[in-house]
Amino acid sequence: AAATAGLATGCAALTGEQAGTTLRSDLTPPEPFRVRLPIPATAEPVSPGRFEVTQRVADVEIIPGTTTRVWGYDGTFPGPTFDVRRGEPVTVTIHNELPAPTSTHLHGGVTPADSDGYPTDLIVPTGLDFEPGHGSHMEVKEWRLHDGSREYEYPLDQPAATLWYHDHRMDFTAPQVWRGLAGMFLIRDDDEDRLDLPRGEYELPLMLCDRAFEDDGSFKYPSIDDSLLGVPGVEGDYHQGVEGDVILVNGAPWPEASVANTMYRLRLLNASNARRFELAMDEVGFTQIGSDSGLLPQPQELETLTIAPAERFDVLVDFSQVPVGTRVVLRNRLGSDGTDVVMRFHVDREAESGAAVPRRLVEPATMTPDEVVAARTFAFALTNQGDHQMWTINGRPFDPEQSLASPRLDTVERWTFTSDFHHPVHVHMAHFQVLTRNGKPPAPEDAGWKDTVDLRPYEVVEVAIKFSGHRGRYMIHCHNLEHEDMAMMANFDVV
């Protein structure tokens, strides 16, 4: 309850484009476009199909001239990018050397339940005196604790897509991701290879997120108790979600990338806790080729694109439309005072990536309305729970013992999401297609197979969701990470 007391006061206006409340940095942020766009290292297997990653504390330079203590996979923020192939299963052993327990979720992965990174299935650093559930919004009966490390199994029996991985610890996902526990995970396949999309230096993973900084360069986050193992939750008016005033791309503030005057493929991920972006490029548009869970049947042109937390957009941009020497700014139309710009591309040379926009991409997915065997509704809303209010699904705060649905394996259901605020809705394991948004056809941003949908205030979104993959317990939750930590999660069981 400590985490949510006084929630009502933070929610005066549950409308508008902003999903969270902006936390101001104490230091003066650097001028934009001074830092070069970093590209995260690629994760290298220790033997074929086997990866080892160590979560540790590291001091890195994010704001020039200062150091920031991060919690990183292999001590980096973002963590290393996985570049793997469909049909070639991998195991990832995570060693936890942080001062707190962790759980790693492969977001978008069709993963066996045991490896899904359940919030109470934790790797506890060896020797840490950890009292599970201390200060939590509820009493959890069963915890699964692994000493020091554990192995996650990823079958990768799913189409090429832009996935990501991040922390999912019960009650503490928001502060732990804020500290740096997130990385990209790219799955490729033969269908994608046939398309001759830009690759190598012409393919850029771009992890967008926002952060705020203390005077000394350390991350600022409004935790109720910053002892890492103490009481979870945020204080002050941040119950809607925490936004920062510094925009980072691949962990660098408003960076600049040097590019050639040719076609590029950008893998856009919004890894923010709460911030939504409406992205626009000066002088060049986006050609979207893929969504969260794979390639689209055919490309679509987008002048701007709205990306909610945890969504991914796989886009082509053609810098041959501008003369060499041009500087193209990637803007955020939902931002202000600095958060209205994201990064800049300096078209500084001639080169030819050899790629063109394919006319067709992959076979369209076949899901017909008569395949739907059940319909369910999930209402995302602030509700009264005793003497306080909580972010809930169907009126209930998260309870690991309870399950809201038991869909059958290999069936399709129609799920309806309703909201009282911005709630990016994410479903684990199962992918879906948006059928309607407020009774109308889906928005362009809803195209394709998805695992996260941008649910805005007072909206109703219907999706057709396919439960193929694995049986077991999975989750549906809001991907505003503060809402998630404040119990806006639920289980479902694939049976």
Q: Is the dihedral of CA 186, 192, 196, 197 positive or negative?
A: negative
User: Taking CB under 6 A as the rule, does residue 466 contact ligand C2O?
Assistant: no
Q: Which does 124 bind (CB under 5 to 8 A by kind): Cu ion, ligand C2O, none?
A: none
Identity of the residue, 103 or 218, whose beta carbon is nearer to ligand C2O in the bound complex: 103
The one among 475, 478, 486, 487 contacting ligand C2O by CB under 6 A: 475
The arrangement of strands across the sheet holding 304-307 comes to 256-260, 341-349, 327-332, 277-281, 304-307
Q: How far is the CB of 65 from ligand C2O (least distance, A)?
A: 33
Q: Which does 105 bind (CB under 5 to 8 A by kind): ligand C2O, Cu ion, none?
A: ligand C2O
Residue 299 in tokens: 């490309």
Identity of the residue, 113 or 281, whose beta carbon is nearer to ligand C2O in the bound complex: 113
Q: How far is the CB of 191 from ligand C2O (least distance, A)?
A: 25
Q: Which does 162 bind (CB under 5 to 8 A by kind): ligand C2O, Cu ion, none?
A: none
The SS3 call for residue 311 is coil
R_g of the chain, CA atoms, integer Å: 21
DSSP 121-138: EEEEPTT----TTTT-SS
Identity of the residue, 344 or 428, whose beta carbon is nearer to ligand C2O in the bound complex: 428
**Distance in angstroms (rounded) separating the CA atoms of residues 306 and 270:** 10
Q: Which residues contact 270 (CB under 8 A, 6 or more apart)?
A: 208, 209, 276, 277, 307, 308, 309, 310, 311, 312
Q: For residue 20, what are the CA distances in angstroms to 109, 231, 450?
A: 27, 21, 23
CB 78 within 8 A of CB 165: no
Q: Which does 480 bind (CB under 5 to 8 A by kind): ligand C2O, Cu ion, none?
A: Cu ion
Residue 494 in tokens: 């694939």
CB 139 within 8 A of CB 171: no
Q: Which does 423 bind (CB under 5 to 8 A by kind): ligand C2O, Cu ion, none?
A: Cu ion
User: Taking CB under 6 A as the rule, does residue 310 contact ligand C2O?
Assistant: yes
Q: Which does 346 bind (CB under 5 to 8 A by kind): ligand C2O, Cu ion, none?
A: none
Q: How far is the CB of 105 from ligand C2O (least distance, A)?
A: 5
Q: How far is the CB of 427 from ligand C2O (least distance, A)?
A: 9
Q: Which residues bind Cu ion (CB under 5 A)?
A: 423, 478, 480, 483
Spatial CA neighbour of 89 closest among 178, 157, 179, 182: 157
Q: How far is the CB of 164 from Cu ion (least distance, A)?
A: 19
User: Taking CB under 6 A as the rule, does residue 122 contact ligand C2O?
Assistant: no
The SS3 call for residue 166 is strand
Identity of the residue, 249 or 271, whose beta carbon is nearer to ligand C2O in the bound complex: 271
**Distance in angstroms (rounded) separating the CA atoms of residues 445 and 47:** 39
Identity of the residue, 7 or 478, whose beta carbon is nearer to Cu ion in the bound complex: 478
Question: Integer distance in angstroms from the first to the last C-alpha of the chain?
Answer: 33
The one among 275, 312, 346, 479 contacting ligand C2O by CB under 6 A: 479
User: Taking CB under 6 A as the rule, does residue 163 contact ligand C2O?
Assistant: no
CA 328 to chain centroid, in Å, comes to: 25
- Beta strands 90-96 and 50-60 are parallel
Stretch that binds ligand C2O, among 93-101, 130-138, 254-262, 473-481 (CB under 6 A): 473-481
Size of the site for ligand C2O (CB under 6 A): 10
Q: What would the x/- binding string for ligand C2O be over residues 393 to 432, using CB under 6 A? A: ---------------------------------x-x----
Q: Which residues contact 332 (CB under 8 A, 6 or more apart)?
A: 247, 277, 278, 279, 280, 339, 340, 341, 342
The one among 150, 168, 169, 423 contacting ligand C2O by CB under 6 A: 168
Identity of the residue, 254 or 467, whose beta carbon is nearer to ligand C2O in the bound complex: 467
Which residues partner with 433 through β-bridges? Answer: 464
Q: How far is the CB of 67 from ligand C2O (least distance, A)?
A: 28
User: Taking CB under 6 A as the rule, does residue 107 contact ligand C2O?
Assistant: yes
Write out the residues near ligand C2O by the rule CB under 6 A.
105, 107, 166, 168, 310, 426, 428, 475, 477, 479
